């Protein structure tokens, strides 16, 4: 087991007039080496769920268990990047884990190579990169910490077709190497192609879970449509 949610609920601004129940009674388990896609329309609780995986939020009730170290790629890379240069940004994680400067630099260079960002970008201010490059730099920063559970919030949002494909190929490779992946996506075709397990959220509730074949079967059409999603086109894949 890499991640386990047992009857997890989360409420924002509890006890105020803005109180909002974002997740209700969520239970699921991700095995080591699993590839979980979390689907659901805007506001269904996806980001809240993965913040609970990464300890950025604590459940109101229920229990979240994590085996190993998780790393989160935020929904917006601007929320993640902060250092004056790309290389310093990516070195921050390893340095924080107690690596010395040389080890951190080596780890950062490996991570940048892994995401396909070359040395010509090391000294650039991360905020001057293109949208796609920013996301890759943020991902390198997460990978440099060598998480055993990699959590990604809409990692392909805003990427063109080729960049999206190459990012998914990278995630696929990491997953084959044993990294557990938990990915939020709006794109049902991506979930269909890559997920070993799909979770569908609707208004903070887990309404479907299982393999792509199970979740995207015709008998679930009504539940999927009620959740604001569509069944992937038969035979389609990105
Ligand atoms: N900081 C907050 N304070 C109060 N309510 C919040 C807060 N963050 C999120 N919510 C509410 O919790 C619910 C779930 O939000 P969440 O961000 O988890 O949705 P999401 O599925 O990630 O949506 P999106 O696809 O738009 O990213 C929404 O109704 C949202 O308005
Ligand atoms: Mg979100």
Please give the full DSSP string across the chain, using - where no structure is assigned.
--EEEEEEEEEETTTSTT-EEEEEEEEEEE-TT-EEEEE--TTSSHHHHHHHHTTSS--SEEEEEE-S-EEEE-SSGGGT--SSSHHHHHHHHHHHTT--HHHHHHHHHHHHHHHT--GGGTTS-GGGS-HHHHHHHHHHHHHTT--SEEEEESTTTT--HHHHHHHHHHHHHHHHTT-EEEEE-S-HHHHHHH-SEEEEEETTEEEEEE-HHHHTSGGGHHHHHHTT--PPPTT---
Model pLDDT, residue 235: 60
Q: In the predicted model, is pLDDT for residue 105 greater than 60?
A: yes
Rounded CA gap, 216 and 210, in Å? 9
164 close to ligand 1 (CB < 6 Angstrom): no
What is the CA(160)–ligand 2 centre distance, in A?
20
pTM: 0.94
45 close to ligand 1 (CB < 6 Angstrom): yes
- For the chain, domain boundaries: 1-69+149-238, 80-146
Q: In the predicted model, is pLDDT for residue 238 greater than 90?
A: no
Model pLDDT, residue 209: 97
99 close to ligand 1 (CB < 6 Angstrom): no
Model pLDDT, residue 120: 97
Q: Which atom of ligand 1 is nearest to the CA of 201?
A: 21
Question: Closest residue (by CA) to atom 5 of ligand 1?
Answer: 12
Q: Which atom of ligand 1 is nearest to the CA of 204?
A: 14
Segment 148-204, tens digit of pLDDT: 999 999 999 988 889 899 999 999 999 999 999 999 998 999 999 999 999 999 999
Q: In the predicted model, is pLDDT for residue 121 greater than 80?
A: yes
Task: Tell me if the domain spanning 1-69+149-238 has CATH number 3.40.50.10480.
Answer: no
Question: Closest residue (by CA) to atom 28 of ligand 1?
Answer: 43
Mean pLDDT, rounded, of the chain: 95
Segment 40-67, tens digit of pLDDT: 999 999 999 999 999 999 999 999 999 9
Q: In the predicted model, is pLDDT for residue 233 greater than 90?
A: no
Q: Is 154 a catalytic residue?
A: yes
Which residue of the set 19, 154, 189, 225 is catalytic? 154
């Amino acid at each position: 087991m890499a991640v386990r949610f047992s009857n997890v609920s989360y409420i924002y601004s509890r006890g105020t007039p803005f109180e909002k129940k974002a997740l209700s009674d969520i239970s699921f388990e991700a095995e080591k080496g699993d590839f979980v896609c979390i689907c659901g329309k805007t506001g269904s609780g996806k980001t809240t769920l993965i913040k609970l995986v990464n300890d950025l939020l604590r459940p109101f009730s229920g229990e979240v268990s994590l085996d190993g170290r998780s790393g989160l790629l935020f929904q917006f890379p601007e929320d993640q990047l902060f250092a004056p240069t790309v290389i310093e940004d990516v070195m921050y994680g390893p340095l924080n884990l107690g690596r010395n400067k040389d080890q951190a630099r080596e780890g950062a260079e490996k991570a940048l190579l892994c995401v396909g960002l070359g040395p010509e970008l090391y000294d650039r201010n991360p905020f001057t990169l293109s949208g796609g490059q920013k996301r890759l730099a943020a991902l390198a920063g997460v990978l440099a910490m060598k998480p055993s559970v990699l959590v990604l919030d809409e990692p392909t949002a805003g990427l063109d077709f080729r960049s999206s494909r190459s990012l998914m190929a990278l995630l696929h490779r990491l997953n084959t190497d044993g990294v557990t992946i938990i990915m939020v996506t709006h794109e049902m075709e991506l979930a269909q192609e890559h997920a070993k397990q799909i979770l569908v959220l609707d208004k903070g509730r887990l309404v479907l879970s299982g393999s792509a074949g199970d979740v995207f079967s015709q008998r679930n059409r009504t539940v999927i449509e009620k959740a604001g999603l569509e069944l992937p086109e038969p035979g389609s894949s990105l």
